[in-house]
Structure 1
Amino acid sequence: MYDIRLAGQDDLGAVLALLVRLQADTAHHIGYLGETLGELTEELTEFEPDWPSCTVVATDDSGRVCGVLSVEVDHELRRAFLHGPFVDVPVNHPAGSRIWDQTSDALYAHAQPLLEGIADREVYGHTLHRRLAAFAERHGFTAGRASSIHVLDGDGLRGLLLREASCPRTGPAREMRVLPTEAAVHEAVAVLHERCFPKTYLSGRQLVDGSRDHTVVVAMDGGKVLGYAAGKAEPGEYYVDFVAVEPDVRGKGVGAALITELVWKLAERFGARPQAAAAILAGNTSSHRMFDRLGFRRTLELVAYRSKAA
């Protein structure tokens, strides 16, 4: 059994090396985290107040880091996200599953003080991460709908960035705008967000107040909000996080125009990235078709496990 303790600043290199290796493996993949060294470094350093204070590590007798679990708590939403657990099990070890289970349970137990008072907890991993599924079941988490990750790169991404993104003109004064400052527009976008993405990790208010650093593009018809798209520029990609369109204008090209404009704005603001990506819930056939038409391809499937207490 490994020793379990809070991480220290000196563990950063070992933690990143472990994550880069395990995150690239389907059987260990966690959906919140990137796969490159730059992406993982950004994820760790974004934790508040600092990454060691919310990270638990497992070490062997020599002090080598063999496991890690980070906890991200949104106190406003009273919700926690588990980044892990990751456990480095020797290949073909006869007791590999038992080692993984015991170490992951010990990491989670040691992290409980970080989760005090937060019943709504979530972990998000690859659908083929069987050990994570078993971990979730042991600790009272239930699986939600799976989501597929769609990626656009190469000539497809270049073509999207060169495309005319203007909104289809089926009404007066159609335009695409980065989130305006008007209170009425903020309110309309926040309400649409809450309606289309209930109980997601980001509230409508957080989306429009800029506290989470999303770039938000809004489709307008005069003073009316038709829809919005929101995302971020990560170290290795432009990430399309949310796309929502009012029901009466769906199927008219507004969503595709919003995605195109959002990726362009992210490129303009943050510079080149090798790909764009988005996660789409299973069963959302209209979104799947929209991203397919834009040239995105499905690369992997993830599932969120959420605590029953939520």
Structure 2
Amino acid sequence: MYDIRFAEPGDLSATLALLVRLQADTAHHIGYLGETLEVLSEELAEFEPDWSACSVVATDDSGRITGLLSVEIDAEKRRAWLHGPFVDVPVNHPAGSRIWDQTADALFAKARDILADIDDHELYGHTNHRRLAAFAERHGFTAGKASNIYLLDNGDLRTLLLRDAKHTPTHEMRALPTDPFVHEAVAVLHERCFPHSYLSGRQIVDGAKSRSVVVAMDGDRVLGYAAGKAQPEEYYVDFVAVEPDVRGGGIGAALITELLWKLAAEQGARPQAAASITAGNESSARMFGRLGFRLFLELVAYRHSA
């Protein structure tokens, strides 16, 4: 059994090294975090007030970092996302599963001091992360629908942007205007299409979570929107939503392309783009497929709400 304590700022380098190694294995993959040192460092730095104040670690007898669980809390939505638990166990150790389970449970118990009175918790990991599934079951989490991560690699991304640069969209595509009625329309559409998302409609339009937003307009009517951000190694498309009566006409694909153009212009080039689609959403899968995205991995969320 490892020792459990709150993280300290000096733990960062050892923690990142642990995460990079474990994230590369689907048996330990957590969906919120990237897989490279640069991405992990940036994402941990986004935690408030700082990553160490929101994290607990496990250490062995020599003081080496062997486990981590970080907590991200949205006070407005009164929800918490658990980034982990990550537990390093010796290869082929006869009690490896027991060590992982006991350490993960101890990390979660310690993290309850950070969670305070937040009772809505979510985990998000690879569908092949069996230990995470067992952890979720032990602590009363319910598995939700799986989501598929799609990637558009560098060559295909460049081809998409160059190809569609020659096309004129059927409807007006532009960055999110400041008009209050547009903000309201986008927020309402978001809540209708993604009612239990990690971001609210208000957070999407007011810039609280640093997302870039583009909208499709027909006069003063909002037909749809796309939101995303530029990460160190990729563009990430968070959300795409189109009003039901105008779906199937290419607006969604045009919004995705417009968003990628905007991110490239404002944040510079990235080697790939990524998007998450709920498993079974065939229309979205076909849309991203036509743009050149390919299926990369499948993740599942586990949620517990008191």
The TM-score range, normalised by the shorter chain, is over 0.9
TM-score, scaled relative to structure 2: 0.98
Q: How far is the alpha carbon of 1:94 from its aligned partner?
A: 0.5
Residues 1:217 and 2:214 are matched in the alignment: yes
Contact 1:167 1:176 in 2 (8 A): no
Question: Per the alignment, in what secondary structure is the counterpart of residue 183 of structure 2?
Answer: helix
Residues 1:20 and 2:2 are matched in the alignment: no
CA distance in 2, matches of 1:185, 1:295: 30
CA distance in 2, matches of 1:280, 1:192: 17
The match for 2:90 is 90
Q: How far is the alpha carbon of 1:110 from its aligned partner?
A: 0.3
CA distance in 1, matches of 2:104, 2:130: 13
Q: How far is the alpha carbon of 1:43 from its aligned partner?
A: 0.8
CA distance in 2, matches of 1:63, 1:6: 13
Q: How far is the alpha carbon of 1:154 from its aligned partner?
A: 2.6
Question: Per the alignment, in what secondary structure is the counterpart of residue 143 of structure 1?
Answer: strand
Question: 2:287 pairs with 290, 300, 309, which one?
Answer: 290
Residues 1:245 and 2:242 are matched in the alignment: yes
Aligned AA (1:49): P
Question: Per the alignment, in what secondary structure is the counterpart of residue 76 of structure 2?
Answer: coil
Contact 1:167 1:253 in 2 (8 A): no
Query: RMSD of aligned C-alpha atoms?
Result: 0.9
The match for 1:202 is 199
TM-score, scaled relative to structure 1: 0.97
Contact 1:150 1:279 in 2 (8 A): yes
The match for 1:116 is 116
Aligned AA (1:29): H
CA distance in 2, matches of 1:161, 1:101: 46
Q: Which runs of 5+ in 2 are unaligned?
A: none
Q: Which runs of 5+ in 1 are unaligned?
A: none
CA distance in 1, matches of 2:12, 2:169: 49
The match for 1:140 is 140
Q: How far is the alpha carbon of 1:162 from its aligned partner?
A: 1.3
* Residues matched between the structures, number: 305
Contact 1:142 1:308 in 2 (8 A): no
CA distance in 2, matches of 1:150, 1:184: 32
Aligned AA (1:280): I
Q: Segments of 4+ in structure 1 off by > 2 A?
A: 163-169
The match for 2:161 is 161
Identity of aligned residues (%): 75
Q: How far is the alpha carbon of 1:164 from its aligned partner?
A: 2.6
Question: Per the alignment, in what secondary structure is the counterpart of residue 107 of structure 2?
Answer: helix
Contact 1:59 1:67 in 2 (8 A): yes
CA distance in 1, matches of 2:251, 2:168: 6
